[in-house]
Structure 1
Amino acid sequence: MEIANKTDATPASLFAGQDARPSYWLTRFVILRLLGLVYVLAFLVAVNQIVPLVGQNGLLPAGIYIKYLGIAYGSAGAGFVRLPTIFWFWHSDTALLTVAWLGLVLSLVVLAGYANAPLLTLLWFLYMSIVHAGQDWYSYGWEIQLTETGFLAIFLCPLLDMRPFPKRPPPFPVIVLFRWLVFRIMLGAGLIKYRGDKVWRDGTALYYYFQTQPIPGPLSRWFHFLPRALLKAGVWFNWLAELMAPWFVWWPRPGRHIAGVVIVLFQLTLIISGNLSFLNWLTIIPALACFDDGFWAKLLPRILVRKAAAAAETAEESSPMLTTSWIVAGIVALLSIQPVLNMLSPGQVMNSSFDPLDLVNTYGAFGSVGQERYNVVFEGTTDDTTGGKAQWKPYVYKYLPTLPDKAPPQIAPYQPHLDWQMWFAAMGTAGQYPWTYNLVYKLLHNDPGAVSLFAGNPFPNRPPRFIRAVLYRYQFAKPGSPKGIYWTMERLGDWIPVVSKDDSRLLKFLRSEEWVK
């Protein structure tokens, strides 16, 4: 069992081998810098997209959502206790942008190397506020994973000292909690795959995954056409990283370091093979707790190692800080009961929270892998549609495949929320994603916010007379296809039939949802 950081650490101990007691000054430094980067990206996404998504004239207005939650819970105060967010009390567009911009600025401070407990607490609450008001757009596992990771990071830092290497050592119980987090993330993801889809169990999942993942990246097509033996080997690497490596985060230093390397390499592989938002970057953060200063001292610039060594030489253990960390560990242990029971259950669910603050959650990804790729493309026309000769123009997504000759871009760790939701929507019906009707109505009026979610506006001078949504099957163009062709498309039928802005059924539905007056 490792022993908590000692106050008599010396510079030599940071370069020591197997027999030295591990310290975590450099580990804390790296964790907080990467967390700052993820926060920057997450708040930047909100700055750019939150108003057209949940603003007063957004696709799913936060004000309407808050209103009905208040009715369901009995009052705003009761609602705040059940679903804490600052937007219970202020949810105008100005409020949304204020929270997003404030979070972005504070995240840049953390990225620059300066953090303490109050600053990280504020960042945690600001982002949790966005998640809890974000509805469909913020329903992904990495959103609650960021709130859990951000919460733990609060207790890595001193109360007031913001220096990159403060005189207070990082509390060892919090390092253990980060390991507990990555253990649950990885093992939960492995179990949901093993239980969820036979293509994982028979080793064929990667025959489909790279093509059918939400937003393929520049190398996804190359991965898709690798020899099938290599794709099967990739599934075994997945099992190594998700079902075996997590157990070794609890081992002594060599085993723990190997586990951390395997998990990080697995996340890097996912980063280069697709666009999974900031999920993989975020998952690397708790994996870094597998590494101690002896590991980092061999990798990081000497100036950082010397600064960490100097801080360790003059370190002063803080009894209140250590006591708080043990209290937090006790709270996390109690809140872990339900997530652990869920992981052990044959009916395991993924990406769910069991407490109002999202402090200890259950995770998982790609429990099933689609074998066909479907995309919904919104199309508009200014022509008369009665003769069947109308010229339809597509609304091209910023990053989701639309045109056959548009190469898959690299967008992660940034996340385009509309593109992601339309990937899910294409596997269902418009009735299951009713906000798509609000999107159609806004496109019929050339609403600037809605149009901004696409790569461009095919009707810049006047709105289209009609809009439809068409379901297509997409496949990667095979090697040897004409240069510049990345996809093949097959039209399957209408996903939303042709509608106009005066369609009585459309207007009746939108009014029932309070999306139009």
Structure 2
Amino acid sequence: MDVLGWLAGDEYTIAREILQRGVAALYLVAFVSAVNQFPALLGEHGLLPVPRFLQLSYARKQPTLFRRRYSDRLLLAVAWTGAALSALVVLGLLQLTPTWVFVPVFLVIWFLYLSIVNVGQTFYGFGWESLICEAGFVVAFLGAWDTAPPVTIIVFVRWLVFRLEFGAGMIKMRGDRSWRDLTALYYHHETQPMPNPLSRTAHLLPKWWHRVEVLGNHVAQLVVPWLLFLPQPVASAAATIIILTQLWLVATGNFAWLNWITIVLAFAGISDGVWSWLLGGAPVGAFGASTLPLWYLIVSLAVTVFLVVLSWPPLKNLFSRRQLMNASFNRWHLVNAYGAFGSVTKERFEVVVEGTEDDPHDPDAAWYEYAFKGKPGDVRRLPRQFAPYHLRLDWLMWFLALGSRDSPWFEVFLLRLLEADRATLKLLRADPFDGRAPRAVRATMYLYRFTTREEKRRTGDRWVRSEVGALVPAVSLRG
């Protein structure tokens, strides 16, 4: 046992607390998001109903609790159970139980959310869904307070951060010339899926600063991740750089929990000794035991070997000329390939949805705009901060404006507006008809850009928009 004592990561007890509680906090957000949005988007009367999806042979092969039967009531039971168990980890109560209890319960949280993701279709087709699934599975095996965190699991979390950051860096270098010539952020703050209150401020910074931003991003994603595997304090310094760069992304955008989970996972590189140094040499209290029981040493090594075997496809993908972005190589969303914004859009298009109670063919008909919670609409409205909460409808509206071909949900969305469906209307910030059914709806494409400082002083607007053309002409239930 003494020979293998170095596998006990007693120098990473604070890291374990941050990893487990942080990931559990994001699971809590994700489950609450499912409670609030899943029934309207994917429920029995949703835009992409799960019961219809489950008729496909592909769907019936997915690991999910809903494989045999779906109902909105069962979905809410799954989501609220996951939220309650996640809250126990956030509060540190589950960590007081033996590891043989803690690990299975944390894996239950993981599987409950995996069950939702695997029937979520387009609305759950984001890289951070696979990321939170993988992170939940891995940090579960850090164990409870009756054991030291296994070093092999700590190292694997760093490997996850490496794939996340290095994969994103490589997809940028391979995908868009603007990342290579350092001009990507001339556009990105303005054209990103969901701007936040500081996005316009960031966009209006000097171009030399945007070039520095891109260069810093390349260093943080292509160079720094390698340092995570070096001895302390180098690994801690690398983790700190990753955390700081992610905080800048948090300050300037709304990327659901992508940045927050990266920050949480990066703490796997910071040892208890570094925390003590940061506190001026003050001793830091260890959370839990300093040794690994033999039975759990065997379990953690077996899990590590299993994850290493699964790492071969994503490792090859990192260095492939045809690198996949946000790809899962198994149905369990374990050891995935990651990446984001391999290309940068240089213009911002928005789909504006309107309704009328008048004759839609009358040139004088009054059309009123439906207001979304996160995506730009009203040119005077300050964008809000929603991350780490994920507004799924708003994100899909961004892809729709980019010309997404996988948008059968949008026709159903317009139908639900014509029906004044209460669940669908709750996904919006404002219904101009106060719950009444409009006579007709339409969707129009607009080109948006941030106002300059002078334009903002003169008009008070934060956006300038110009009509591009009709995406969906006026439609009604009669039509």
TM range (shorter): over 0.9
| Aligned partner (choices 194, 197, 215) of residue 173 of structure 2 | 194
Residues 1:366 and 2:366 aligned together: no
Distance 1:201 1:5, change over 3 A: farther
* Distance in 2 of aligned mates of 1:178 and 1:5: 20
* Distance in 2 of aligned mates of 1:300 and 1:47: 41
Describe how 1:20-419 pairs up with structure 2 within 5 A: 23-68=11-56, 72-73=57-58, 82-115=61-94, 116-158=102-144, 166-298=145-277, 305-308=284-287, 311-312=288-289, 315-419=290-394
Partner of 2:473: 497
* Distance in 2 of aligned mates of 1:248 and 1:286: 15
Partner of 2:422: 448
Q: Which runs of 4+ in 1 moved over 6 A?
A: 300-304
* Distance in 2 of aligned mates of 1:101 and 1:373: 37
> Bigger shift: 283-292 or 128-137?
283-292
Q: Is the 8 A contact 1:377 1:402 kept in 2?
A: yes
SS for the counterpart of 2:66 is helix
SS for the counterpart of 2:444 is strand
Distance 1:461 1:108, change over 3 A: closer
Residues 1:438 and 2:424 aligned together: no
Percent of residue pairs bearing the same amino acid type = 41
SS for the counterpart of 1:175 is helix
Give the letter for the 1:290 counterpart. G
Q: How many residues align?
A: 468
Give the letter for the 1:494 counterpart. A
Partner of 1:162: none
Shift, 1:378, TM fit: 0.8
TM norm structure 1: 0.87
Shift, 1:252, TM fit: 1.2
Q: Is the 8 A contact 2:5 2:291 kept in 1?
A: no
| Aligned partner (choices 428, 453, 459) of residue 479 of structure 1 | 453
SS for the counterpart of 1:306 is coil
SS for the counterpart of 1:133 is coil
| Aligned partner (choices 417, 437, 440) of residue 463 of structure 1 | 437
> Bigger shift: 223-232 or 115-124?
115-124
Give the letter for the 1:52 counterpart. A
SS for the counterpart of 1:56 is coil
* Distance in 2 of aligned mates of 1:141 and 1:51: 22
Give structure 1 stretches of 5+ with no counterpart.
Answer: 10-20, 74-78, 159-165, 504-517
Shift, 1:299, TM fit: 5.2
Q: Is the 8 A contact 1:5 1:170 kept in 2?
A: no
* Distance in 1 of aligned mates of 2:115 and 2:280: 37
1:156-195 CA distance string (max 9 Å, x none): 114xxxxxxx131001110011011001100000000000
Q: Is the 8 A contact 1:27 1:296 kept in 2?
A: no
Q: Is the 8 A contact 2:15 2:267 kept in 1?
A: yes
Give the letter for the 2:80 counterpart. W
Q: Is the 8 A contact 1:52 1:58 kept in 2?
A: yes
* Distance in 2 of aligned mates of 1:337 and 1:357: 16
Shift, 1:462, TM fit: 2.5
Give the letter for the 1:108 counterpart. A
* Distance in 2 of aligned mates of 1:303 and 1:149: 31
* Distance in 2 of aligned mates of 1:288 and 1:5: 23
Shift, 1:387, TM fit: 3.0
Shift, 1:155, TM fit: 0.7
Q: Is the 8 A contact 2:21 2:89 kept in 1?
A: yes
Q: Is the 8 A contact 1:379 1:393 kept in 2?
A: yes
Give the letter for the 2:148 counterpart. P
SS for the counterpart of 1:376 is strand
Distance 1:304 1:109, change over 3 A: farther
Distance 1:468 1:304, change over 3 A: farther
TM norm structure 2: 0.94
Shift, 1:119, TM fit: 1.6
Give the letter for the 2:431 counterpart. N
Give the letter for the 1:359 counterpart. L
Shift, 1:298, TM fit: 4.4
Q: Is the 8 A contact 1:5 1:172 kept in 2?
A: no
Shift, 1:483, TM fit: 5.7
SS for the counterpart of 2:108 is helix
Partner of 1:513: none
Shift, 1:360, TM fit: 0.8
Give the letter for the 1:277 counterpart. A
Q: Is the 8 A contact 2:14 2:286 kept in 1?
A: no
Give structure 2 stretches of 5+ with no counterpart.
Answer: 95-101
Distance 1:4 1:365, change over 3 A: farther
> Bigger shift: 204-213 or 333-342?
333-342
